């Protein structure tokens, strides 16, 4: 069993030092639960809606490693702690919306994922300020093989499919999702995120861990509603909307083999996908296909 702490926290915009202190405080309060993996939301270290402020607040991987190392030392944790955190990344003069996986007190930085799908509709204007990533890749941790997807990345079925085919057993999804749709018991985007996490988990026989930002930024209320979904599509834990919360959830990777045996969609995909590659290439070659569909109106 792998004990996870999903930290649904509210950042102070642009205040990296204070946000690191907030992480340390939250982890200290959870010390008795002995979490082995902690998961933070998209762009938590600075806040999400930075716009032109990305240029001043983005960090290199080396700067991020140094800051998290200092925070970890202040905890006196006593053993390694795996941590996933969202941040704005600077690399060779190019800026990205990224998420990093660290083994603090151990091997350090293991992987950085750069957000591929940058929303540019509704309240979003990401691609004006940052560049796209171009890879979906699973990687090995001391607890198993995992992958990172950031917010809209997860709304495209192809990304989770690639991660699962690459051997990912857990999908970590840092997110920042402004609340919309208030006719039901919870915001419509929170309900949609929950159903999407369950559907992806069930389709590929994986765990999905969504950590969603909360707080008010640029007049927009970030919804929260973080979840942990199991490989049967079951909901293991859910945080409330609009408030800070810490979810403690146990993940049992030994569940994956029997679940995939009973519902072998992933092995079927591995066998059938090569048969469809010609059609995938064909539709991608069709002229003007993307432009013909116009702008999307998403719920991310």
Question: Can you tell me the distance from the alpha carbon of 153 to that of 243, in angstroms, rounded to the nearest whole number?
Answer: 24
User: Given the DSSP bridges, would you call strands 170-175 and 144-148 parallel, antiparallel or unpaired?
Assistant: parallel
Per the structure, how many domains does the chain have? 1
Note whether residue 100 is domain-resident.
yes
Q: How far is CA 281 from CA 174, 213, 273, 285, in A?
A: 30, 37, 12, 6
The mean pLDDT value of the chain amounts to: 93
Give the lowest-confidence range in 13-22, 158-167, 186-195, 245-254: 186-195
Per-residue burial over 45-73, b = 16 or more CB atoms within 10 Å of its CB, e = otherwise: bbbbbbeeebeebbbebeebbebbeebbe
Question: Where does the pLDDT of residue 298 fall: very low under 50, low under 70, confident under 90, or very high at 90 and above?
Answer: low
Note whether residue 298 is domain-resident.
no
Residue 149's nearest CA partner among 90, 216, 94, 201 is 201
Residue 37's nearest CA partner among 253, 209, 227, 230 is 209
Note whether residue 141 is domain-resident.
yes
The DSSP code for 52 is: G
Q: How far is CA 251 from CA 199, 226, 228, 255, in A?
A: 17, 16, 9, 9
Range 185-211 average pLDDT: 95
Note whether residue 138 is domain-resident.
yes
Give the lowest-confidence range in 123-127, 232-236, 264-268, 275-279: 123-127
Give the lowest-confidence range in 91-100, 216-225, 266-275: 216-225
Range 107-121 average pLDDT: 94
Note whether residue 294 is domain-resident.
no
Note whether residue 299 is domain-resident.
no
Residues 30-73 have pLDDT tens digits of 999 999 999 999 999 999 999 889 999 999 999 999 999 999 99
Question: Where does the pLDDT of residue 199 fall: very low under 50, low under 70, confident under 90, or very high at 90 and above?
Answer: very high
Which range marks the domain in which residue 133 is found? 2-289
pLDDT at residue 198 tops 90:
yes
- Structure tokens, 213: 């930002």
What pLDDT score does 179 carry? 85
What is the H or E stretch that residue 289 is in? helix 289-292
Range 160-179 average pLDDT: 96
Question: Can you tell me the distance from the alpha carbon of 284 to that of 84, in angstroms, rounded to the nearest whole number?
Answer: 34
What pLDDT score does 120 carry? 84
Q: Helices 157-165 and 265-285 sit at what angle, rounded to 10 degrees?
A: 130
Contacts of 128 (CB under 8 A, 6+ apart): 51, 120
pLDDT at residue 292 tops 50:
no
pTM of the entire predicted model: 0.94
Question: Can you tell me the distance from the alpha carbon of 254 to that of 258, in angstroms, rounded to the nearest whole number?
Answer: 8
What pLDDT score does 122 carry? 75
In the sheet with 207-212, reading across from the earlier edge strand, the strands are: 139-141, 144-148, 170-175, 207-212, 227-229, 235-238
Distance from CA of residue 273 to its chain's centroid? 26
pLDDT at residue 186 tops 80:
yes
pLDDT at residue 133 tops 90:
yes
Note whether residue 296 is domain-resident.
no
Report which of residues 119 and 160 the model is more confident about.
Answer: 160
Q: How far is CA 38 from CA 24, 90, 173, 233, in A?
A: 11, 24, 12, 22
* Domain CATH for 281: 3.60.110.10
Question: Where does the pLDDT of residue 218 fall: very low under 50, low under 70, confident under 90, or very high at 90 and above?
Answer: confident
The torsion defined by the Cα of 120, 126, 131 and 132, in degrees rounded to 10, comes to: -60
Give the lowest-confidence range in 72-86, 101-115, 139-153, 208-222: 208-222
Note whether residue 52 is domain-resident.
yes
């Amino acid at each position: 069993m792998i004990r996870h702490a999903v930290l649904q926290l509210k950042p102070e915009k642009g205040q990296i030092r204070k946000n690191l202190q907030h992480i340390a405080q939250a982890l200290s309060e959870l010390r008795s639960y002995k979490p082995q993996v902690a998961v933070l939301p998209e762009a938590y270290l600075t806040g999400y809606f930075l716009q032109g402020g990305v240029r001043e607040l983005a960090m290199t991987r080396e700067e991020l490693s140094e800051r998290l190392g200092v925070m970890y030392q202040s905890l006196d944790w006593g053993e390694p702690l795996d941590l996933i955190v969202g941040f704005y990344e600077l690399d060779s003069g190019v800026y990205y919306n990224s998420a990093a996986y660290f083994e603090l007190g151990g091997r350090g930085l293991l992987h950085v994922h750069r957000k591929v799908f940058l929303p540019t509709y509704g309240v979003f204007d990401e691609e004006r300020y940052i560049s796209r990533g171009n890879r979906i890749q699973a990687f090995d941790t001391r607890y198993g093989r995992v992958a990172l997807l950031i917010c809209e990345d997860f709304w495209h079925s192809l990304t989770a499919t690639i991660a699962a085919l690459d051997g990912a057993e857990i999908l970590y999804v840092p997110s920042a999702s402004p609340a919309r749709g208030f006719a039901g018991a919870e915001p419509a985007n929170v309900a949609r995120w929950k159903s999407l996490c369950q559907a992806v988990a069930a389709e590929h026989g994986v765990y999905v861990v969504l950590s969603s930002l909360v707080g008010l930024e640029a007049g927009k209320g970030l919804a929260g509603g973080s979840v942990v979904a199991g490989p049967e599509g079951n909901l293991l834990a859910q945080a409330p909307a609009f408030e800070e919360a810490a979810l403690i959830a146990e993940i049992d990777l030994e569940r994956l083999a029997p679940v995939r045996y009973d519902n072998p969609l992933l092995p079927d995909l591995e066998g059938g996908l090569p048969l469809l590659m010609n059609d995938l290439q064909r539709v991608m070659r069709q002229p003007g296909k993307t432009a013909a569909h116009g702008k999307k109106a998403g719920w991310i």
